Structure 1
Amino acid sequence: MSDTPARRGRPGYDQGQVLDVAVQEFIAHGYDATSVAALADRLGLSKSALYHHYASKEQLLEVALEEALGGLEGVLASAQGATARAKLEYVLRGAVGVLVEKLPYVTLLLRVRGNSDVERRALERRRVFDREVTALVRAAQDEGSVRADVDASLATRLLFGMVNSIVEWYRPTGQEGAAELADDVLRVALDGLRR
């Protein structure tokens, strides 16, 4: 849900509820194929009532992507640990936590293709995030705490390929919560399946 202060709308929707429905529609039909009229219809609002909450469809997308990107960037900025490996583990654990907590928003982020200025800015932020994680992987390799025989940028892609795949199958109603899921990701990603 958005950290944006709630503003009450005509039939009782606040900004967070409108955003949640918009994200569901963007995921189901694609951002480009979702019209403001379709969003208003899904909410049972007029288009003008929808504009009471958000100035444009682009603003909805921007706020939704900020939910995901802000969470991931926050984890990276607060990475803690005495070693590069500990910081990498913190980031991976935190990324899983953000994904579980903001599942629809991260799902939307992962489907962005760069067809608008908002999407292109989001993709650039993802690239910066990836470069910073790659630097952490490289630092962990330099300290000898993770394998150095895999290129750091490839390792980052593989790690986040695994983390990002969670959006395709994870259901919050399942038996495993974010902490247990993060433990499993770290075991497989950093320790491997080999006995």
Structure 2
Amino acid sequence: MTTPKRDTYTPETLLTVAVRVFNERGYDGTSMEHLSQAAGISKSSIYHHVSGKEELLRRAVSRAIDALFAILEEPGARDGRAIERVEYVTRRTVEVLIAELPHVTLLLRVRGNTTTERWAMERRREFDQRVADLLKAAAADGDLRADVDIKLATRLLFGMINSLVEWYRPQSQGGGQDGDRLAETVVRLAFGGLRTEHAAADRG
């Protein structure tokens, strides 16, 4: 049995380990013993930093949620026509997913079995609804095709974005996708088919 190392962890580095283990084993399948082994420190050392694994989960998903909601406060998400704002939010959502990949992956995998998971899912739905409202506004402006169901378009848009967590790997980890190019590709694929002809012409 390996003797746990002296605790040199900070709350941030401990969180990094916890997120990795949660993503590998699933939150329900992770015990404090698993976290202790992965961190190489004793369980009592972990409790020195946090009250338990649910606090680690809360911190992890909060980081992803805060980053997503911060997008909605940026000028590009608040100013201009709705179609321009929703394209901006889509692009930035992909960028945040890439920048916070482990945390967003965990957020998308929570199942609602704990208070923290239910809170995270509610916040996710709130963010999705804000984006859906932008799509509705763009449709009302005549910038989205009238023959496309907005609810379906919203689901397909988020399906495409959220699927990135299953296959995207940064170039530093051997992936071949440039993050900026990927974000632009998602926007062009999604809105190339959704924009009306005049809105597409305005985009240039």
Tell me if both proteins adopt one fold, taking TM over 0.5 as the criterion. Answer: yes
Correspondence 1:130 to 2:143: no
Q: How far apart in 2 are the matches of 1:13 and 1:158?
A: 41
- Which of the residues 143, 146, 160 maps onto 1:145? 143
Separation in 1, partners of 2:150, 2:58? 30
Q: Which runs of 5+ in 1 are unaligned?
A: 1-8
Amino acid at match of 1:165: S
Q: Which residue of 1 aligns with 2:44?
A: 48
1 CA distance for matches of 2:59 and 2:90? 24
Of stretches 174-183 and 155-164 in structure 1, the one that deviates more from structure 2 is 174-183
State the AA in 1 paired with 2:73: A
Residue of 161, 164, 170 corresponding to 1:163: 161
Once residues 160 and 79 of structure 2 are traced to their aligned partners in structure 1, the CA distance between those partners, rounded to angstroms, is 23
Matched to 1:137, the amino acid is L
**For structure 1, which segment, 73-82 or 47-56, has the greater mean C-alpha deviation from structure 2 after superposition?**
73-82
Match of 2:200 in 1: none
The TM-score normalised by the length of structure 2 is 0.86
Aligned length: 185
Note if 1:77 corresponds to 2:105.
Answer: no
1:1-195 equivalences under 5 Å are 10-78=6-74, 79-173=77-171, 174-192=175-193
> How far apart are the structure 2 equivalents of 1:99 and 1:139?
24
In structure 2, distance between residues paired with 1:175 and 1:132: 32
User: Which segment is superposed worse, 184-193 or 155-164?
Assistant: 184-193
Offset from partner CA, 1:48-72 (integer Å, 9 cap, x none): 1011121211100000001111111
Aligned partner of 1:3 in structure 2 is none
Displacement after TM superposition at 1:134 (Å): 0.9
Task: Quickly say closer, same or farther: Cα 1:176–1:105, change in 2 above 3 A.
Answer: same
* Aligned-partner Cα distance in 2 for 1:152–1:64: 31
Please, which runs of 5 or more residues in structure 2 have no aligned partner?
A: 195-204
Query: Is the radius of gyration larger for structure 1 or structure 2?
Result: 2
Instruction: Give yes or no for contact 1:19–1:64 (8 Å, CA) kept in 2.
Output: yes
Aligned to 1:4: none
CA distance in 2, matches of 1:177, 1:54: 36
Amino acid in structure 2 at the alignment position of 1:60: L
Distance apart, 1:10 and its partner CA: 4.6
> Is residue 80–residue 90 contact of structure 1 (8 Å, CA) maintained in 2?
no
The normalised TM-score by structure 1 is: 0.90
C-alpha distance in 1, partners of 2:38/2:177?
32
After superposition, the C-alpha distances for 1:24-60 in whole angstroms (9 at most, x for unaligned) are: 1111111011001110111111111011121211100
RMSD between aligned residues = 1.6
For the residue of structure 2 that corresponds to 1:77, the secondary structure is coil
Aligned residue identity for 1:121: W
